[in-house]
A and B are shown apart, each in its own frame.
Chain A
Amino acid sequence: MQLSREDLLEAYRRMRLIREFEDAVHEEFAAGNIPGFVHLYAGEEASAVGMCMHLDDRDRIASTHRGHGHCIAKGCDPRAMMLEIFGKREGLCAGKGGSMHIADLEKGMMGANGIVGGGPPLICGAALAAKTLGTGGVAVAFVGDGGSNQGTTLESYNLAKVWNLPAIFVIEDNGYAESTASSWSVGGSQTGRAAGFGMPGVEVDGFDFFAVWEAAREAVERAREGGGPSLLHVRLGRYYGHFEGDACTYRAPDEVERLKAEKDPLMLFRRRVGEAGLLEPTDLDAIDREAREQIARAVSDAKAAGYPTEADLLTDVYASY
């Protein structure tokens, strides 16, 4: 299986949309226009897109606090997402979820999650449903390096293995759980943990879209063919703080600048497709321009949109009550 020209354009488009989205949220949050907590995915785009390029609407993903990138990679509407993050009534979740609970079940996006390690058990369930109903779908839990230390995650490895579920665990290791280094907080190794539960686990360069895409392809094929769960340990870096407002004093002074200069996944993608003669710079420039305009429109729409009203406060607590 190879990436077609259309696939490459689509992958770059999704990564650029994520970057533009997160940069815009960063600015709007700093300006005081966004309430609550936001956790940005900029710098990690290759992971979400490298995996989700293999998925379609029958496949489910569960995300983390840092969920905007997973949403966009899985096909959620960035405009509806922006409205949601602004707390507006026409947002993706009617303004009731916000950044940490953004979800679109029709797209197979089962939610960002405010609970670290909340997603893996849910993904076992989604994988069980896919298996029981025979949809051919797979289910992917994105988990941070912090979430990798939760018991829920380790229990889920075991359940996915003993039930032979079409489940994939993507450990996105950006080096920090909040301010605590993963080099300190993770005992053993992520791939060693996978081996301990009897499932294949590989370490992946998360700055390189093509590396993630290739590792994800193997894991998704294995899951679809009934071969059971897999783990990807994706090493990557985040450009912003754990949350917006984090001064990041725990990081090395030049760390982020070096990441941006040397490891930026969008830059690496452009270089790779350029050197291989797969896409022209003008193709990519056009995508950059469209993404910038699309996100700018989303922000202005979000600012103009209305808030929910008191009539919305008590709706959708139950299906019936």
Chain B
Amino acid sequence: MPKKSFRQAVNEALRQEMERDPTVVVMGEDVAGGMGAPGEQDAWGGPLGVTKGLMPQFGRERVLDTPISESAFIGAAVGAAATGLRPVAELMFVDFMGVCFDQIFNQAAKFRYMFGGKATTPVVIRTMYGAGFRAASQHSQCLYNIFTHIPGLKVAIPSNAYEAKGLLIQAIRDDDPVMFFEHKAMYDEEAEVPDEPYAIPFGEANLVREGEDVTIVALGRMVNVARDAADRLEGEGISCTVVDLRTTSPLDRETVLETAAETGRVVVVDEAHPRCSVATDIAALIAQEAFESLEAPVRMVTAPHAPVPFSPALEDLYIPSADRIAEAVREVHGHGRR
């Protein structure tokens, strides 16, 4: 099977869906680039080149560069979705949701319910998240938990290139508004990705590896960090299950609870801040529904309750590491054992 980068996987998903369905359009800041400028067209193909090549193939009518006006164009994507298109809008960095959140959580998320089930809003909002780019406090946050909180939105957070293609195709074909999170530090990471289109259903977590001693629940880029930690712990005689949530809304409660019950020991890994987060959500779910099978307290490995720092020396401390995950796993593994 061919190896492709996360960037290529997202690009391929967009291209194949645009070829399949003429109502799929892409819009955002510099998604082609060079609009109205004297030089090269498709100059950028998105700020990190993810949408490169779409405009030459599909034209400016379906690959729409926008002014830097997130309220207007995210709202336009929502309005177009409610009236016959399937827009994929790019909100460059999720940190920018502060200037367009209304259009996502008051408009897109609520149309179907408020209008008595008569609205369908198949919009996808792709956005970059995550630390590690030395991009500081306003270009490095996760924030998927905020969207997960909102009924009416779906939230997908792929952990590698294979997942990215399948989950994005599902997002585009889905009839609900979907927030699609791409970790900016993963675009060059490669995985085996089939050439043909395929959709990964939402709400079905992936068992990345199966073990007997400790369950690690993770999402997004942290799935890979958790797997590294699990590989290391294998050498110490601790065998771990690693669960990739794939989507936080809908959430695969069954897989979380089953794998938690199997090992009785759980570590939740989340790159976001620790309060009111996916990590606390998973920990609460297990505490409520799997309490009897727990052998140890649920531990969370997260970023601290602090903005993302700029200095590499600080940012490296900020992001959850395989070392910290391994330490938490050892702790819950040892809990209650003699």
Show the binding face of A for B, using Cβ within 8 Å. Answer: 60, 62, 91-97, 101, 103-106, 110-111, 113-115, 118, 120-126, 128-130, 132-133, 135, 139, 151-152, 155-156, 158-159, 162-163, 315-321
Specify which chain A residues have a CB less than 8 angstroms from the CB of B116 in the assembled complex: 91-97, 316
Q: Are B71 and A319 in contact (CB under 8 A)?
A: no
Specify which chain B residues have a CB less than 8 angstroms from the CB of A315 in the assembled complex: 117
Which among A95, A114, A125, A132 is the interface contact of B78 at CB below 8 angstroms?
A125
Q: Which of B61-69, B141-149, B160-168, B224-232 contacts A (4 or more CB under 8 A)?
A: B61-69
Q: What are 5 A-to-B residue pairs whose CB atoms are below 8 Å?
A: A94-B116, A97-B116, A110-B83, A125-B82, A321-B203
4 more A-B residue pairs beyond the given contacts A103-B115, A129-B79, with a C-beta to C-beta distance below 8 A: A113-B107, A132-B23, A152-B72, A317-B112
Interface range on chain B (Cβ under 8 Å from partner): 35 or more
Nearest B-chain residue to A162, judged by Cβ: B67
Q: Tell me how far the C-beta of B97 lies from the nearest C-beta in chain A, rounded to whole angstroms.
A: 14
Which among A104, A139, A151, A318 is the interface contact of B112 at CB below 8 angstroms?
A318
Specify which chain B residues have a CB less than 8 angstroms from the CB of A93 in the assembled complex: 114-116, 118
Q: Are A159 and B66 in contact (CB under 8 A)?
A: yes
Specify which chain B residues have a CB less than 8 angstroms from the CB of A319 in the assembled complex: 112, 120, 174-176
The answer, yes or no, to whether B80 is at the interface (CB within 8 Å) is yes
Q: Are A156 and B75 in contact (CB under 8 A)?
A: yes
Which among A120, A129, A321 is the interface contact of B83 at CB below 8 angstroms?
A129
Q: Which of B81, B83, B103, B112 has the most CB of A within 10 A?
A: B83
A319 to B152, CA, bound (A): 9
Q: Are B106 and A125 in contact (CB under 8 A)?
A: no
Q: Are A121 and B152 in contact (CB under 8 A)?
A: no
The answer, yes or no, to whether B312 is at the interface (CB within 8 Å) is no
Q: Are A125 and B117 in contact (CB under 8 A)?
A: no
Q: Are B250 and A321 in contact (CB under 8 A)?
A: yes
Which among B81, B174, B175, B203 is the interface contact of A125 at CB below 8 angstroms?
B81
Residue pairs across A and B with CB atoms within 8 Å: the count is 161
Q: Are A122 and B82 in contact (CB under 8 A)?
A: yes
Q: Are B72 and A121 in contact (CB under 8 A)?
A: yes
Q: Are B75 and A105 in contact (CB under 8 A)?
A: no
Nearest B-chain residue to A141, judged by Cβ: B79
A133 to B80, CA, bound (A): 10
Specify which chain B residues have a CB less than 8 angstroms from the CB of A156 in the assembled complex: 72, 75-76
A321 to B154, CA, bound (A): 9
Specify which chain A residues have a CB less than 8 angstroms from the CB of B250 in the assembled complex: 321
The answer, yes or no, to whether B85 is at the interface (CB within 8 Å) is yes
Q: Tell me how far the C-beta of A295 lies from the nearest C-beta in chain B, rounded to whole angstroms.
A: 22
A162 to B67, CA, bound (A): 8
Which among B67, B110, B151 is the interface contact of A158 at CB below 8 angstroms?
B67
Which among B107, B114, B174 is the interface contact of A122 at CB below 8 angstroms?
B107
A321 to B87, CA, bound (A): 20
The answer, yes or no, to whether B25 is at the interface (CB within 8 Å) is yes
The answer, yes or no, to whether B191 is at the interface (CB within 8 Å) is no
The answer, yes or no, to whether B187 is at the interface (CB within 8 Å) is no
Q: Which of A103, A124, A151, A318 has the most CB of B within 10 A?
A: A318
Q: Are A60 and B83 in contact (CB under 8 A)?
A: yes
Specify which chain B residues have a CB less than 8 angstroms from the CB of A103 in the assembled complex: 111, 114-115, 118-119
Q: Are B80 and A151 in contact (CB under 8 A)?
A: no
Specify which chain B residues have a CB less than 8 angstroms from the CB of A106 in the assembled complex: 118
Nearest B-chain residue to A151, judged by Cβ: B71
| Contact flag A125-B80 (CB < 8 Å), given A114-B106, A318-B154 | yes
Instruction: Sort A-B residue pairs by CB-CB distance and give the 3 closest, nearest first.
Output: A121-B75, A125-B79, A94-B116
Q: Tell me how far the C-beta of A114 lies from the nearest C-beta in chain B, rounded to whole angstroms.
A: 7
Q: Tell me how far the C-beta of B141 lies from the nearest C-beta in chain A, rounded to whole angstroms.
A: 22
Q: Mark B85-128, 1 if CB is under 8 A from A, else 0.
A: 10100000000000000110011001111111111100000000
Specify which chain A residues have a CB less than 8 angstroms from the CB of B71 in the assembled complex: 121, 151-152, 155
Which among A105, A120, A135, A320 is the interface contact of B115 at CB below 8 angstroms?
A105
A114 to B105, CA, bound (A): 12
A129 to B87, CA, bound (A): 10
Nearest A-chain residue to B103, judged by Cβ: A121
A148 to B312, CA, bound (A): 44
A135 to B83, CA, bound (A): 11
Specify which chain B residues have a CB less than 8 angstroms from the CB of A122 in the assembled complex: 75-76, 78-79, 82, 103, 107
A122 to B85, CA, bound (A): 13
A320 to B176, CA, bound (A): 7
The answer, yes or no, to whether B300 is at the interface (CB within 8 Å) is no
Specify which chain A residues have a CB less than 8 angstroms from the CB of B62 in the assembled complex: 132
Q: Tell me how far the C-beta of A107 lies from the nearest C-beta in chain B, rounded to whole angstroms.
A: 11
Nearest B-chain residue to A98, judged by Cβ: B114
